[in-house]
Amino acid sequence: MSAAERLTGLPPLIGPDSRVLILGSFPSAASLAAQQYYAHRQNQFWKILGAVLGQPLHEMDYAAKQAAVLAAGLAIWDIYASCERAGSLDSAIRNGMSNDFAKLKKSALAGRHDLPRVCFNGQAAGRFAPQLEMLGFKTVILPSTSPANASWSFERKLAAWRAALKLE
């Protein structure tokens, strides 16, 4: 195993019409290399989100994926702004520095977006639910779309994500 190095995450994908924030823990090595959220080809994120939105997101280029996410009123970000990690597993994250969610809430209050709901992509990110609830966000912890979460079938993950992302 290689030594953990200090890594910096990706900027938030958020727009003025964003109503639901999807929070992961920290981008995989593949995502960091590509500078794209959920770039690991075995991660089911784009396939699940595409099924929820009725669009073939997993077949689109990244710019089209981003546009579809924003048009659907979604935002994507991660819990950690930076951390030390060898590999891509959440369990390997050390010395994480979280993103500034209080600042995010202030920008919502200033009318830059409206994010009343946060959906965590997996249990690792979901450990931060109490902190975001204290800031006034409604939260739900979803099954991880990571290939490491093999105990949930695609259909079971999709049902949970569909229920949580009702975008009325």
* Cβ atoms 80, 96 nearer than 8 A: yes
User: What does the block give as tokens for 53?
Assistant: 């939105």
In the block, which residue shows the tokens 């249990």? 123
CB atoms within 10 A of CB 102: 12
Give the Cα separation of 44 and 156 in Å (integer): 12
DSSP element (H, E) containing 6: strand 5-8
Q: Is 43 a catalytic residue?
A: yes
Give the Cα separation of 108 and 168 in Å (integer): 19
* Cβ atoms 4, 86 nearer than 8 A: yes
Q: Which member of 43, 99, 121, 149 is catalytic? A: 43
The residues carrying an active-site annotation are 43
